Structures are given as C-alpha cells and as structure tokens.
Amino acid sequence: MTLINSKIHFILLAGGDSLRFSSNTNKLLAKFKNKNLLTHNIDFLKELKFKKITVVINTIKKANISNFDELEIIKGGKTRSESVKNALNKSKFKSKYVLIHDAARPLNSQKIINNIIKNLIEKQYDCVVPFSRCSDTVVVNHANLDREKIKLIKTPQGFVKNKIIYLHKRNNKNKLTDDSQLFRIEKNKYKIKYLLQKEINLKITYKDELNALNKLIRNNFLAGIGYDIHKTKKTIKNNFVKVGGVKIKSKIKVISHSDGDVVLHAITDSILGALSQRDIGTYFPNTKRNLNRNSIDFLNYALKKMTFRKMLINNIDIMIVSEEPKINPHFEIIISSLSKLLKTDKKNITIKATTNEKSGLIGSGDFIACWSNVSLKLN
C-alpha cells in the first residue's frame, strides 16, 4: 500500500482560525504527544510514505512546523470550501485520487486510510466517507431523532480527483462542513461509500478536548515481563554466543532448538506479555521448521503485533545472568543492535549483567539466563 500512497494526493487542511479553542495560540500548534497537532499529522503521513502532501494554511509560520520544506504549502481561503478549492486548483501534484483531512483530527488511522484507498481503486467509488455511529440521545426542538439513522461524518475522505474538482467548481452557494456533502447533494449521480470507523477519531475544537485526549494518551501504557534460560556447554575451542543479535566470542556453546539468543527470546516474551499474548513457544514450537532459526524472526513477530496495536517501545530493562561470556565489554554494541531491531532510541534501552557468584546451575556455568521488562506506549 505504501507504493500506492506515494502516488495519491493528500490535502491537509490547517487554515482554520481556532476561535472556539479559547487560547492565544492556534490550536494546531498546541501540544499533542510531545508534538504540535500539525507536525503530528505530517509525520504520520510521511510514515505512511505519502509523497504528494499539500498543507493548506493561513497564519501559522513555517518555522513552527518540522520538515516544512518537503511539503507543498498553499494559502487557505476564508471558508473551508475556499481552502479546499485553492488546494485542488493550485496544487502542482497530479493524481487520479485525492484524500482530504482536517489537521484538527490527530488520531488518523492507517487502517481507515487503507480502506478508503481500496474502495476508491478496487471498488471504483467516487466518494469514500468514514463515519462513526451515534450513541447519545439527539434532541432537536424537544424531539428525539432516531440515532440509528445518524452518521457522524469524519475525515480523511477520499475522492476521484477530477470529480471533486468539478463539484467544487460548480458550488457557489452551499456552505460545506465537509467535502462529501457535494456528492450527497447529487447522490443519484455518484457512487458513495460510507465506511464505519470504530477507532476514536476526535476532532479537536475546544481546549478541554485536547487536554482530555492528552490525559488519555498519557495513561495508555502497557507493560510485560519476559524470561529465558538456556543450558550451555563448555568448549575447548573458542565459540560464539548470540546476545541481543550480536555474536560474542565465548568458551561456551548455547544448547537451544533455535540460535539460543536468550536476550531476544526474553524481549520477545516481554512484548508478547504486554500485548496479552501467549509465550514464544506457542507461536514457535520446537518443530523442524524452527530448528536453528534466527531469533530475530521471533522478535519481528512480536514487533508486528505491537505495531498493529499502534504501540511503541517506551522503555526496556534487560538483566543478563551468566558466568560466561562476560557482557560488560559488549554493552554498547548490544544496545546499538537492539536499538536497530526494536526501532527505538538507545536511551530507551537499559542492559544490566551479573554473575550468580558461582552458586547454583547458572553459577556453575551450565546455564545462561535473561529477564526483560518492557513498557509500551501508544504511537
């Protein structure tokens, strides 16, 4: 889907005046997950490999936004409709399809974007609109409306580009609150698809809404514990032991069905535990297929599940217990390896190592063990 994304025009609307936000600062510069709302949206689109990004903006200075030079900037109009018209008519980007999104919605979803694009390209809809159901009682002039018939319209919305350009060009009277309204006015002429979006897709209008959302995000952490232990065998010749994806010279050989990387095994189990999944052996049993298998495969399986849940590594704390090999001389290279494998900054990784003071099975040099504690945060 990333190759398709690079060919689709994405318009990000950021030209509002934020009058209802009750702040001296434009709401799109307000902090959300340690970034301002606009930067958060832009970074998300770049992660999804969108290349044709147009930001419609009025008063916010470029200096306030990261990576601005890589974007197309178009001045907005007095109304939302004018801003969209400006973007559609003045953009240098050529494409068959266009997605339009309100920058005031920071909880954009890769899943909904993929569904929108699929319905545009494969099912050939002219207009694809995400919506959520209404769970509250709705009253107009003291009368209840049938909430089962109500659709709460969201963005991003997807369109066949030449058709939305045509409809915006014809529209001179209707004050639009979203672009799919143009297609609904002439619903018998166009194929419209409504997509139910179950994920939260809140539009930030008031400051209290952003404060509540930030509080919710701060509380959205998961934690897990992993443990692994392997029997070892002393060797006459120098051998190699895998620790955190790094080969270390050693006088022992790890006896394991896979490559015996206790650190990656423990980390994998801690991530799976944080996600309320089963242990590593459930997904990778001691079968012929997994004989001598690279432990990075196990870790990538857990990371894929973590990414699907929109989580990132917040912090990981690792304790290695062994008499051999000595871990301290290899700290930096192991942390660098884990940083690349986990796609997280080195500062988020802590490694500690100790011996068992010659006591017990580990202390006798017959085993190597590792504990991993991980905390995950919402992406």
Q: Are residues 147 and 181 in the same domain?
A: yes
The answer to whether residue 379 scores a pLDDT higher than 90 is no
Q: Are residues 149 and 226 in the same domain?
A: no
What pLDDT shows up at residue 190?
96
Q: Are residues 81 and 107 in the same domain?
A: yes
Q: Are residues 258 and 348 in the same domain?
A: yes
Residues 6+ apart with CB under 8 A from 317: 350, 352, 372, 373, 374
The answer to whether residue 267 scores a pLDDT higher than 90 is yes
Please give the structure tokens belonging to residue 358: 């010659």
What pLDDT shows up at residue 142?
94
What pLDDT shows up at residue 16?
64
Domain containing 84 equals: 2-218
Query: Is the Cβ–Cβ distance between 247 and 240 less than 8 Å?
Result: yes
Q: Are residues 234 and 167 in the same domain?
A: no
Tens-digit pLDDT profile for residues 100-157 = 999 888 888 888 999 999 999 999 999 999 999 988 899 999 999 999 999 999 999 9
Percent of the chain whose pLDDT exceeds 70: 90
What pLDDT shows up at residue 250?
86
What pLDDT shows up at residue 271?
96
How much is the mean pLDDT over the chain? 87
What pLDDT shows up at residue 364?
73
Q: Are residues 9 and 85 in the same domain?
A: yes
The answer to whether residue 242 scores a pLDDT higher than 70 is yes
**pLDDT band for position 25 (cuts 50, 70, 90):** low
Lowest mean pLDDT among 32-46, 160-174, 282-296, 315-329: 32-46
Beta bridge partners, 240, equal 249
The answer to whether residue 17 scores a pLDDT higher than 80 is no
Percent of the chain whose pLDDT exceeds 90: 53
Among 180, 200, 218, the domain-final residue is 218
Q: Are residues 166 and 289 in the same domain?
A: no
**Total residues found in the chain within this entry:** 379
Q: Are residues 252 and 137 in the same domain?
A: no
Q: In 3D, which of 156, 157, 154 has the Cα closest to residue 167? A: 157
**Which range, 24-28, 59-63, 111-115, has the best average confidence (pLDDT)?**
111-115
Query: Is the Cβ–Cβ distance between 100 and 56 less than 8 Å?
Result: no
What pLDDT shows up at residue 63?
40
Characterise 121 by phi-psi region: left (phi > 0), alpha (psi -120 to 50), beta (else): alpha
What pLDDT shows up at residue 24?
64
The answer to whether residue 184 scores a pLDDT higher than 80 is yes
Distance between CA atoms of residues 130 and 157, nearest Å: 7
Please give the structure tokens belonging to residue 367: 């085993």
Q: Are residues 227 and 316 in the same domain?
A: yes
What pLDDT shows up at residue 182?
94
Is the whole-model pTM more than 0.75? no
From residue 230, give the alpha-carbon distance in Å to each of 148, 233, 262, 324, 329: 57, 10, 7, 12, 21
Distance between CA atoms of residues 249 and 242, nearest Å: 9
Among 218, 235, 268, the domain-final residue is 218
Please give the structure tokens belonging to residue 53: 């990004």
Please give the structure tokens belonging to residue 36: 């301002």
- The stretch 234-248 carries a mean pLDDT of 85
Distance between CA atoms of residues 191 and 122, nearest Å: 13
Tens-digit pLDDT profile for residues 213-232 = 776 666 578 899 999 999 98
Among 169, 187, 218, the domain-final residue is 218
Where is pLDDT greater, at 323 or 120?
Answer: 120
Q: Which amino acid type is present at position 2? A: T
Q: Are residues 236 and 213 in the same domain?
A: no
Q: Which amino acid type is present at position 95? A: S
Q: Are residues 314 and 342 in the same domain?
A: yes
User: Treating both helix axes as pointing N-terminal to C-terminal, what angle do 295-308 and 331-342 enclose, rounded to 10 degrees?
Assistant: 50
Q: In 3D, which of 288, 304, 307 has the Cα closest to residue 296? A: 304
What pLDDT shows up at residue 378?
77
User: What are the backbone angles phi and psi of residue 37, rounded to the nearest 5°?
Assistant: -60, -40
CATH code at 283? 3.30.1330.50
CATH code at 58? 3.90.550.10
Where is pLDDT greater, at 119 or 79?
Answer: 119
Give burial (CB, 10 Å; 0-12/13-18/19+) of 21: buried
Secondary structure (DSSP) of 245-256: TEEEEEEEEEE-
**pLDDT band for position 318 (cuts 50, 70, 90):** very high
Q: Are residues 15 and 123 in the same domain?
A: yes
- Count of domains for the chain: 2
